């Protein structure tokens, strides 16, 4: 819960100020609407996500499974753009708010009043920690969250007691609110319109699911569906949501009534640090400094949590899709890449917390909308659940669209990430198209027997495009091959047939089945890329028999460029030259490469 909390609970550092700037004296009511969405929208949704992905895959993985082929992968790439927006802005916004707390502390010299430079120093420190290794520091999260929550409970609790002891504060607030809105109906309507700007208070649920592999289950849990772990993950989500809901309401109420409106504005004493302002004003500079240090620590760790999320997210999808080089599985290059991006975002937004709020909210809301959609699709056979989660999805869609309309900078940053991810992914996919792409070959008993018996003579393989599967098909193909390649009449041959599978997949295991069709021995398989599958099978046959196999192809009639594009898009085309190129890249020794014959 504390690993989740460094992201979720740390929003208390800046949420009250953003809420007041967005809703003014309506902030407590708009926050109440947000709390309702948390408890009756986000919490049920992510409880279902925890059930469906108990190993920490999250809602993106659910959508990948529910939407097959390129449709699902395209959707995932778009969501990765929004997830990158969420995590990157979490890092930059948290660092910027930590800088605001440092600069706002009375004990800090005025020479530190350079928010951009100070934020960049914090970002550099974060990158340095990840370049060295972060595992040792994670245990500190428990202490940081415990101290931070205790201090916030104390400050907010004191604020509520202070308001109750000074009854004139409530009528004064209500009068200002009435003057601002005019009627309770207008207050409710405006709260429904404004609460999407407060969506930063919803962050943390995706992280709560991501940490599920760390959660202890029951001794007899089924690894595929560990009920104990799922139950305890739901406890984590419920506990975090209830704690945050209480603190959100308390912080919105106390800061709205006790902090002067002018102090919330940019450059004001409460800008980005409303609760810290109360701590300094009412408990002295020493206590306020302790509160600042606690806030700075949790905000810095929130950035660390987001960086860990990025380092987990990219290697999980893009290399598997063939849409990123293999070096993206390594931590250090990714840390340097994301570090450079956070520097750019910080400079563009001038380390301004309020300016980054819209982009952060957009990333959070899109991920929550996708989670609600995934849960709705997952419940398609259960009508009541489907309708309930469908309604939640509609609410999240409304919230997301309204936030994008009000603060379009979020969709601009997300679009930049999406276009960059898709562009680099397509280039990477093209550049890696002639990799072997097969992680292992698994023949059945018949196929293995055919391969071993073929080792008695020269191993000759005839590539055949699958058609009727009748004996006449293989007789004709064998006659054509003997004529084109001058094959001896008395030497046995094996036929190889590869049918195109899900071309959106990049790599996997190649399953081979053997079939005897009236004496013609056929090895059959399904693969997203036909030349790569044939190359992998030829290398497997070489290793099993100890002999260099010879594979025979016919020339493909047509434009070579058109067939190249067909191979990149659909995994098939001019098979012989691509198979030879895959073998060249996979086996550096020419004398050990299977031979490719075309005629």
Q: C-alpha angle 442/579/512, rounded to 5°?
A: 20
Q: What confidence tier does 326 reach under pLDDT thresholds 50, 70, 90? A: low
How many whole angstroms separate alpha carbon 53 and alpha carbon 422? 26
Give the closest residue to 248 by CA, choosing from 487, 37, 492, 470.
37
Angle between helices 15-23 and 184-194 (to 10 degrees): 130
Instruction: Give the dihedral of Cα atoms 257, 262, 267, 272; nearest 10 deg.
Output: 20
Q: Is residue 330 predicted with pLDDT exceeding 80?
A: no
Quick one: pLDDT band at residue 324, thresholds 50, 70, 90? low
Rounded Cα distance between 21 and 30, Å, is 12
Name the average pLDDT for the chain.
83
261: Cβ–Cβ under 8 A, 6 or more apart, which residues?
A: 20, 24
3 state SS of 321: coil
CB atoms within 10 A of CB 351: 26
Binned at pLDDT 50, 70 and 90, residue 336 comes out as: confident
What contacts 329, CB < 8 A, 6 or more positions away? 315, 319
pLDDT in tens, 245-265: 999 999 999 999 998 888 888
What would the mean pLDDT of 47-76 be, rounded to a whole number?
Answer: 78
The arithmetic mean of pLDDT across residues 553-567, rounded, is: 74
| Residue 83 binned pLDDT confidence (cut-offs 50, 70, 90) | confident
Of the candidates 415, 400, 322, the residue with the CA atom closest to the CA atom of residue 362 = 400
448-481 pLDDT, tens digit per residue, is: 999 988 887 788 999 988 888 888 998 999 998 8
Residue 331 pLDDT grade (very low, low, confident, very high; cuts 50, 70, 90)? low
Cα dist from 291 to 1, 103, 190, whole Å = 21, 14, 33
Residue 318 CA to residue 322 CA, distance in Å, equals 6
Q: Do the Cβ atoms of 101 and 296 come closer than 8 Å?
A: yes
Residue 423, token pair as written in the block: 């562009």
Q: How far apart are CA 248 and CA 433, in angstroms?
A: 50
Round to whole Å and give the CA distance between 316 and 8: 23
**Structure-block tokens of residue 582:** 């895959």
Hey, what domains does the chain have and what are their CATH numbers? 2-431 (1.20.1740.10), 438-598 (no CATH)
Q: What are the residues whose beta carbons fall under 8 Å from the beta carbon of 365, sequence distance 6 or more?
A: 196, 199, 202, 396, 399, 400, 403
Place of tokens 């999320």: 309
Q: What value, to the nearest 5°, has the Cα angle with vertex 201 and ends 199 and 203?
A: 90
Mean pLDDT of 76-91: 82
pLDDT tens figures, 181-191 = 777 788 888 88
What backbone torsions phi and psi does residue 521 show, to the nearest 5 degrees?
Answer: -90, 125
Name the 3-class secondary structure at 495. Answer: strand
DSSP secondary structure string for all residues of 368-435? HHHHHHHHHHHTTT-HHHHHHHHHHHHHHHHHHHHHHHH-THHHHHHHHHHHHHHHHHHHHHHHTTTS
- Tokens matching residue 163: 């308001």
Q: In this predicted model, what pLDDT tens digit does every residue of 200-217 receive, in sequence order?
A: 777 777 777 777 777 888
The answer to which of 120-124, 359-363, 400-404, 585-589 has the lowest mean pLDDT is 359-363
Q: Which of 298, 338, 332, 343 shows the shortest CA–CA distance to 134?
A: 332
CB atoms within 10 A of CB 499: 13
Q: What is the pLDDT of residue 577?
A: 87
Helices H / strands E in the chain, number of each? 24, 7
Q: Which tokens is 596 given?
A: 């490719």
Name every residue whose Cβ is closer than 8 Å to that of residue 297 and which is 6 or more positions away in sequence: 144, 148
Are residues 237 and 210 in contact, defined by beta-carbon separation less than 8 angstroms? no
pLDDT reading at 591 higher than 80: yes
Q: Supply the pLDDT for residue 355.
A: 76
Confirm whether pTM is higher than 0.85: no
CB atoms within 10 A of CB 273: 30
* Look-up of token digits 């308390």: 250
- Top mean pLDDT of 177-191, 307-321, 503-517, 560-574 is at 503-517
Secondary structure (DSSP) of 182-196: -SHHHHHHHHHHHGG
DSSP β-ladder status, 520-527 and 508-517: antiparallel
Q: How many residues does the chain have?
A: 599
d(CA 223, CA 230): 11
- Going by pLDDT thresholds of 50, 70 and 90, the confidence category of residue 419 is confident
Spatial separation of the C-alpha atoms in residues 204 and 6, rounded to whole Å: 9
Least confident range from 60-69, 135-144, 194-203: namely 135-144
Residue 268 pLDDT? 81
Buried b (16+ CB within 10 A) or exposed e, 365-378: bbbbbbbbbbbbbb
- What whole-number distance in Å separates Cα of residue 306 and Cα of residue 310? 6
d(CA 303, CA 6): 9
Please report the pLDDT score of residue 540 as a whole number: 93
Phi and psi angles of residue 520, each rounded to the nearest 5 degrees, phi first: -90, 125
| Cβ partners under 8 Å of residue 465, min gap 6 | 497
pLDDT in tens, 273-321: 889 889 998 898 899 999 989 988 888 877 777 777 777 777 777 666 6
Residues 6+ apart with CB under 8 A from 129: 137, 304
């Amino acid at each position: 819960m504390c690993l989740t909390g460094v992201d979720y609970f740390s929003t208390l550092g800046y949420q009250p100020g953003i809420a007041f700037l967005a809703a003014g004296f309506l902030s407590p009511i708009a926050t109440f609407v947000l709390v309702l969405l948390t408890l009756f929208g986000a919490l049920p949704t992510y409880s279902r996500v925890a059930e469906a992905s108990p190993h920490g895959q999250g809602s993106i993985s659910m959508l990948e499974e529910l939407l097959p082929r390129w449709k699902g992968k395209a959707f995932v790439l778009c969501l990765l753009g929004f997830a990158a927006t969420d995590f990157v802005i979490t890092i930059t916004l948290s660092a910027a708010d930590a800088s605001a707390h440092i600069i706002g502390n009375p004990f800090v010299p005025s020479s530190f009043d350079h928010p951009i430079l100070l934020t960049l120093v914090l970002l550099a420190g974060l990158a340095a920690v990840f370049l060295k290794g972060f595992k040792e520091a994670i245990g500190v999260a428990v202490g940081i969250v415990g101290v931070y929550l205790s201090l916030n409970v104390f400050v907010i609790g004191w604020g509520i007691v202070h308001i109750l002891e000074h009854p004139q504060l409530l009528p004064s607030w209500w009068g200002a609110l009435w003057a601002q809105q005019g009627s309770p109906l207008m207050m409710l309507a405006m709260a429904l319109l404004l609460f999407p700007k407060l969506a930063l208070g919803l962050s943390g649920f995706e992280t709560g699911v991501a940490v599920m592999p760390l959660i202890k289950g029951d001794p007899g849990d089924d690894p595929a569906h560990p009920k104990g772990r799922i139950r305890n993950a739901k406890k984590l989500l419920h506990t975090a949501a209830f704690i945050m809901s209480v603190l959100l309401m308390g912080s919105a109420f106390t800061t709205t009534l006790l902090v002067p409106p002018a102090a919330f504005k940019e450059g004001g004493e409460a800008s980005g640090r409303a609760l810290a302002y109360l701590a300094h004003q009412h408990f002295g500079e020493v206590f306020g400094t302790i509160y600042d240090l606690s806030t700075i620590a949790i905000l810095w760790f929130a950035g660390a949590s987001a960086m860990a999320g990025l380092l987990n997210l990219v290697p999980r999808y893009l290399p598997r899709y063939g849409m990123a080089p293999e070096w993206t599985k390594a931590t250090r290059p990714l840390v340097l890449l994301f570090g450079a991006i956070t520097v750019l975002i910080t400079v563009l937004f001038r380390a301004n917390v309020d300016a980054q709020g819209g982009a952060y909210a957009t990333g959070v809301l899109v991920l929550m909308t996708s989670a609600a959609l995934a849960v709705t699709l997952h419940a398609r056979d259960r009508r009541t659940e489907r309708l309930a989660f469908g309604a939640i999805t509609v609410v999240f869609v409304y919230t997301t669209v309204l936030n994008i309309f009000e603060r379009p900078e979020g969709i601009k940053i997300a679009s930049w990430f999406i276009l960059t991810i898709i562009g680099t992914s397509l280039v990477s996919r093209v550049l890696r198209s002639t990799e072997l792409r097969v992680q292992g070959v698994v023949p059945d008993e018949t196929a293995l027997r055919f391969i071993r018996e073929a080792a008695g003579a020269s191993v000759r393989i005839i590539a055949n495009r699958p058609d009727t599967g009748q004996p006449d098909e293989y007789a004709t193909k064998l006659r054509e091959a003997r004529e084109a390649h001058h094959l001896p009449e008395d030497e046995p041959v094996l036929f190889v047939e590869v049918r195109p599978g899900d071309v959106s997949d990049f790599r996997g295991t190649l399953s081979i089945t053997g079939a005897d069709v009236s004496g013609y021995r056929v090895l059959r398989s399904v693969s997203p890329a036909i030349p790569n599958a044939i190359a992998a099978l030829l290398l497997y046959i070489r290793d099993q028999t100890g002999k260099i196999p010879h594979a025979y192809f016919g020339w493909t009639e047509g434009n070579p460029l058109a067939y190249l594009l067909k191979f990149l898009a659909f995994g098939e085309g001019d098979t012989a030259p691509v198979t030879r190129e895959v073998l060249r890249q996979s086996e550096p020794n020419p004398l050990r490469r299977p031979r490719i014959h075309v005629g």
